[in-house]
Amino acid sequence: MTAERRLEGRVALITGAASGNGRAIALRYAAEGAAVVCADLVPNPIAGGWEDATTTHDLINEQGGRATFVECDVTDGAQVAAAVATATDTYGGLDISVANAGVSPLAYSIVDEPFEDYKQVQAVNQDGVWWTCRESARAMIEQGRGGRIVTLASIAGLTGVQTGYHYNMSKGAVVQITRTLAIELAPHSITVNAICPGYVRTSMTRNLWDDPAKFARLQATTPMPRLGEAEDIAGAAFFLASDDASWMTGVIMPVDGGFSAI
Protein backbone atom coordinates (compact mmCIF):
# COMPACT_ATOMS: atom_id res chain seq x y z
CA MET A 1 0.00 0.00 0.00
CA THR A 2 1.35 3.40 -0.94
CA ALA A 3 0.72 6.08 1.67
CA GLU A 4 -0.84 9.27 0.33
CA ARG A 5 0.19 11.28 3.42
CA ARG A 6 -3.40 12.33 4.02
CA LEU A 7 -2.69 12.99 7.71
CA GLU A 8 0.10 15.45 7.00
CA GLY A 9 0.32 18.12 9.70
CA ARG A 10 -1.83 16.25 12.21
CA VAL A 11 -0.85 14.95 15.63
CA ALA A 12 -2.01 11.57 16.93
CA LEU A 13 -1.88 9.94 20.36
CA ILE A 14 -2.14 6.15 20.45
CA THR A 15 -2.32 4.17 23.68
CA GLY A 16 -0.95 0.64 23.67
CA ALA A 17 1.27 1.59 20.75
CA ALA A 18 4.17 -0.75 21.50
CA SER A 19 2.53 -3.89 20.12
CA GLY A 20 -0.24 -5.37 18.04
CA ASN A 21 -3.03 -3.19 16.72
CA GLY A 22 -1.69 -0.07 18.39
CA ARG A 23 1.70 -0.49 16.76
CA ALA A 24 0.14 -1.06 13.33
CA ILE A 25 -2.04 2.04 13.73
CA ALA A 26 0.94 4.15 14.80
CA LEU A 27 2.97 3.00 11.79
CA ARG A 28 0.09 3.68 9.39
CA TYR A 29 -0.58 7.13 10.80
CA ALA A 30 3.11 8.02 10.58
CA ALA A 31 3.27 6.77 6.99
CA GLU A 32 0.33 9.05 6.22
CA GLY A 33 2.24 12.05 7.60
CA ALA A 34 1.02 12.36 11.19
CA ALA A 35 3.30 13.04 14.14
CA VAL A 36 2.67 10.23 16.61
CA VAL A 37 2.87 10.00 20.38
CA CYS A 38 3.29 6.31 21.24
CA ALA A 39 1.94 5.73 24.75
CA ASP A 40 2.41 2.43 26.53
CA LEU A 41 3.65 0.86 29.75
CA VAL A 42 6.99 0.08 28.09
CA PRO A 43 8.40 0.98 24.67
CA ASN A 44 9.23 -2.57 23.61
CA PRO A 45 6.78 -4.94 21.89
CA ILE A 46 5.18 -7.63 24.05
CA ALA A 47 7.17 -10.86 24.04
CA GLY A 48 5.59 -13.68 22.10
CA GLY A 49 4.18 -11.60 19.29
CA TRP A 50 5.24 -11.38 15.67
CA GLU A 51 6.72 -7.87 15.73
CA ASP A 52 10.28 -6.84 15.06
CA ALA A 53 12.09 -6.03 18.33
CA THR A 54 12.54 -2.39 17.30
CA THR A 55 10.32 -0.04 19.30
CA THR A 56 7.43 1.57 17.45
CA HIS A 57 8.66 5.13 17.85
CA ASP A 58 12.21 4.21 16.82
CA LEU A 59 10.92 2.43 13.73
CA ILE A 60 8.85 5.46 12.73
CA ASN A 61 11.78 7.82 13.20
CA GLU A 62 14.11 5.50 11.28
CA GLN A 63 11.64 5.58 8.38
CA GLY A 64 11.67 9.38 8.31
CA GLY A 65 8.55 10.00 10.38
CA ARG A 66 8.06 11.83 13.65
CA ALA A 67 7.29 9.91 16.83
CA THR A 68 7.81 10.15 20.57
CA PHE A 69 7.35 7.52 23.26
CA VAL A 70 5.71 8.34 26.58
CA GLU A 71 5.30 5.88 29.44
CA CYS A 72 1.61 5.65 30.26
CA ASP A 73 -0.55 3.46 32.46
CA VAL A 74 -4.06 4.19 31.17
CA THR A 75 -5.58 3.34 34.54
CA ASP A 76 -3.83 6.42 35.96
CA GLY A 77 -5.54 9.63 34.90
CA ALA A 78 -2.48 11.76 35.64
CA GLN A 79 -0.36 9.66 33.29
CA VAL A 80 -2.95 9.88 30.54
CA ALA A 81 -3.11 13.65 30.98
CA ALA A 82 0.68 13.76 30.74
CA ALA A 83 0.57 11.77 27.49
CA VAL A 84 -1.89 14.27 26.02
CA ALA A 85 0.36 17.11 27.21
CA THR A 86 3.29 15.44 25.45
CA ALA A 87 1.37 15.67 22.17
CA THR A 88 0.42 19.30 22.63
CA ASP A 89 3.80 20.40 23.99
CA THR A 90 5.96 18.43 21.53
CA TYR A 91 3.96 18.78 18.33
CA GLY A 92 1.67 21.74 18.99
CA GLY A 93 -1.71 20.09 19.40
CA LEU A 94 -3.79 16.94 19.33
CA ASP A 95 -5.93 16.04 16.31
CA ILE A 96 -6.41 12.28 16.64
CA SER A 97 -6.63 10.12 19.75
CA VAL A 98 -6.81 6.32 19.62
CA ALA A 99 -7.85 4.59 22.85
CA ASN A 100 -6.35 1.23 22.00
CA ALA A 101 -4.70 -0.06 25.19
CA GLY A 102 -6.37 -3.18 26.54
CA VAL A 103 -5.88 -6.56 28.14
CA SER A 104 -7.39 -9.96 27.40
CA PRO A 105 -6.62 -12.28 30.33
CA LEU A 106 -7.47 -15.92 30.77
CA ALA A 107 -11.18 -16.65 30.51
CA TYR A 108 -12.84 -17.68 33.75
CA SER A 109 -16.18 -18.96 34.85
CA ILE A 110 -17.88 -16.39 37.06
CA VAL A 111 -17.84 -18.89 39.93
CA ASP A 112 -14.04 -19.17 39.77
CA GLU A 113 -12.66 -15.76 38.82
CA PRO A 114 -10.85 -13.78 41.54
CA PHE A 115 -12.49 -10.37 41.95
CA GLU A 116 -9.11 -8.63 41.64
CA ASP A 117 -8.66 -10.10 38.16
CA TYR A 118 -12.11 -8.91 37.15
CA LYS A 119 -11.39 -5.39 38.43
CA GLN A 120 -8.10 -5.22 36.53
CA VAL A 121 -9.81 -5.97 33.23
CA GLN A 122 -12.35 -3.20 33.82
CA ALA A 123 -9.64 -0.77 34.99
CA VAL A 124 -7.65 -1.12 31.75
CA ASN A 125 -10.32 -1.79 29.12
CA GLN A 126 -13.08 0.46 30.43
CA ASP A 127 -11.54 3.06 32.76
CA GLY A 128 -8.50 3.44 30.50
CA VAL A 129 -10.72 4.33 27.56
CA TRP A 130 -12.65 6.78 29.76
CA TRP A 131 -9.45 8.54 30.83
CA THR A 132 -8.10 8.66 27.28
CA CYS A 133 -11.34 10.04 25.85
CA ARG A 134 -11.74 12.58 28.64
CA GLU A 135 -8.24 14.03 28.51
CA SER A 136 -8.20 14.02 24.70
CA ALA A 137 -11.59 15.71 24.51
CA ARG A 138 -10.46 18.42 26.93
CA ALA A 139 -7.44 19.21 24.77
CA MET A 140 -9.42 19.18 21.52
CA ILE A 141 -12.16 21.42 22.90
CA GLU A 142 -9.57 23.88 24.19
CA GLN A 143 -7.87 23.97 20.77
CA GLY A 144 -11.17 24.66 19.07
CA ARG A 145 -10.31 22.95 15.80
CA GLY A 146 -12.23 19.70 16.16
CA GLY A 147 -10.66 16.27 16.26
CA ARG A 148 -11.05 12.52 15.93
CA ILE A 149 -11.33 10.02 18.75
CA VAL A 150 -11.14 6.33 17.85
CA THR A 151 -11.81 3.65 20.46
CA LEU A 152 -10.96 -0.02 20.20
CA ALA A 153 -13.88 -2.15 21.28
CA SER A 154 -14.23 -5.74 20.06
CA ILE A 155 -16.65 -8.17 18.51
CA ALA A 156 -16.74 -9.50 22.09
CA GLY A 157 -18.56 -6.29 22.99
CA LEU A 158 -21.23 -7.12 20.40
CA THR A 159 -21.63 -10.87 20.86
CA GLY A 160 -21.27 -13.38 23.68
CA VAL A 161 -18.04 -15.32 24.14
CA GLN A 162 -18.32 -18.18 26.60
CA THR A 163 -16.46 -17.61 29.92
CA GLY A 164 -15.20 -14.30 28.59
CA TYR A 165 -17.81 -12.18 30.34
CA HIS A 166 -15.27 -9.90 32.07
CA TYR A 167 -13.71 -8.98 28.71
CA ASN A 168 -17.11 -8.83 26.98
CA MET A 169 -18.44 -6.44 29.63
CA SER A 170 -15.47 -4.12 29.31
CA LYS A 171 -15.73 -3.96 25.53
CA GLY A 172 -19.50 -3.51 25.65
CA ALA A 173 -18.84 -0.51 27.87
CA VAL A 174 -16.47 0.89 25.22
CA VAL A 175 -19.27 0.65 22.66
CA GLN A 176 -21.57 2.72 24.86
CA ILE A 177 -18.87 5.21 25.84
CA THR A 178 -18.30 5.75 22.12
CA ARG A 179 -21.95 6.31 21.23
CA THR A 180 -22.62 8.64 24.14
CA LEU A 181 -19.46 10.68 23.72
CA ALA A 182 -20.14 11.05 20.00
CA ILE A 183 -23.35 12.90 20.85
CA GLU A 184 -21.70 15.06 23.49
CA LEU A 185 -18.72 16.11 21.38
CA ALA A 186 -20.45 16.59 18.02
CA PRO A 187 -21.06 20.33 18.65
CA HIS A 188 -17.27 20.70 18.96
CA SER A 189 -16.71 18.98 15.57
CA ILE A 190 -15.06 16.04 17.35
CA THR A 191 -16.01 12.64 15.95
CA VAL A 192 -15.97 9.52 18.12
CA ASN A 193 -16.09 6.08 16.50
CA ALA A 194 -15.25 2.54 17.57
CA ILE A 195 -13.51 -0.30 15.80
CA CYS A 196 -14.52 -3.82 16.82
CA PRO A 197 -11.71 -6.15 15.77
CA GLY A 198 -12.34 -9.79 15.14
CA TYR A 199 -9.67 -12.45 15.60
CA VAL A 200 -6.49 -10.64 14.62
CA ARG A 201 -2.96 -12.06 14.71
CA THR A 202 -1.28 -10.27 17.64
CA SER A 203 0.50 -11.29 20.81
CA MET A 204 -2.85 -11.06 22.62
CA THR A 205 -4.25 -13.91 20.51
CA ARG A 206 -1.04 -15.91 20.11
CA ASN A 207 -2.46 -18.83 22.10
CA LEU A 208 -5.26 -19.19 19.55
CA TRP A 209 -2.85 -19.27 16.63
CA ASP A 210 -0.61 -21.83 18.33
CA ASP A 211 -3.44 -24.26 19.16
CA PRO A 212 -4.47 -26.16 15.98
CA ALA A 213 -7.94 -27.00 17.30
CA LYS A 214 -8.71 -23.41 18.38
CA PHE A 215 -7.29 -22.02 15.14
CA ALA A 216 -9.50 -24.35 13.11
CA ARG A 217 -12.58 -23.18 15.03
CA LEU A 218 -11.71 -19.54 14.34
CA GLN A 219 -11.35 -20.25 10.64
CA ALA A 220 -14.64 -22.14 10.61
CA THR A 221 -16.55 -19.21 12.14
CA THR A 222 -14.97 -16.51 9.95
CA PRO A 223 -16.56 -16.26 6.47
CA MET A 224 -13.52 -14.67 4.84
CA PRO A 225 -10.85 -17.19 3.81
CA ARG A 226 -8.24 -15.72 6.15
CA LEU A 227 -8.08 -14.37 9.67
CA GLY A 228 -7.13 -10.81 10.49
CA GLU A 229 -3.86 -8.91 10.61
CA ALA A 230 -3.13 -5.82 12.66
CA GLU A 231 -2.82 -3.88 9.41
CA ASP A 232 -6.53 -4.55 8.77
CA ILE A 233 -7.36 -2.67 11.96
CA ALA A 234 -4.88 0.07 11.09
CA GLY A 235 -6.65 0.60 7.76
CA ALA A 236 -9.96 1.17 9.52
CA ALA A 237 -8.31 3.49 12.05
CA PHE A 238 -6.79 5.50 9.20
CA PHE A 239 -10.15 5.83 7.47
CA LEU A 240 -11.82 7.09 10.66
CA ALA A 241 -9.05 9.68 11.09
CA SER A 242 -9.20 10.80 7.45
CA ASP A 243 -11.31 13.51 5.86
CA ASP A 244 -13.44 10.81 4.24
CA ALA A 245 -14.98 10.09 7.66
CA SER A 246 -15.58 13.72 8.64
CA TRP A 247 -19.37 13.22 8.92
CA MET A 248 -19.24 9.84 10.66
CA THR A 249 -19.64 9.73 14.41
CA GLY A 250 -21.05 7.24 16.90
CA VAL A 251 -20.31 4.40 14.48
CA ILE A 252 -19.46 0.93 15.81
CA MET A 253 -17.44 -0.68 13.04
CA PRO A 254 -16.72 -4.44 13.07
CA VAL A 255 -13.52 -5.39 11.25
CA ASP A 256 -13.78 -9.13 11.59
CA GLY A 257 -13.89 -10.95 8.26
CA GLY A 258 -17.65 -11.40 8.62
CA PHE A 259 -17.58 -13.09 12.03
CA SER A 260 -20.28 -10.84 13.54
CA ALA A 261 -22.52 -11.30 10.50
CA ILE A 262 -23.21 -14.85 11.60
Helix (H, G, I), strand (E, B) or coil at 11: strand
Backbone angles phi, psi at 68, to 5 degrees: -135, 140
Distance set, CA 253 to CA 58, 93, 179, 248 (Å)? 30, 27, 12, 11
- Angle, helices 20-31 vs 230-241, to 10°: value is 50
Q: Which residues pair with 13 in a beta bridge?
A: 37, 97
Decide if 91 is catalytic. no
Catalytic entry in 29, 91, 167, 199: 167
Angle at 151 between CA 166 and CA 105, to 5 degrees: 30
Distance set, CA 131 to CA 36, 126, 203, 252 (Å)? 19, 9, 24, 20
Active site positions, annotated: 167
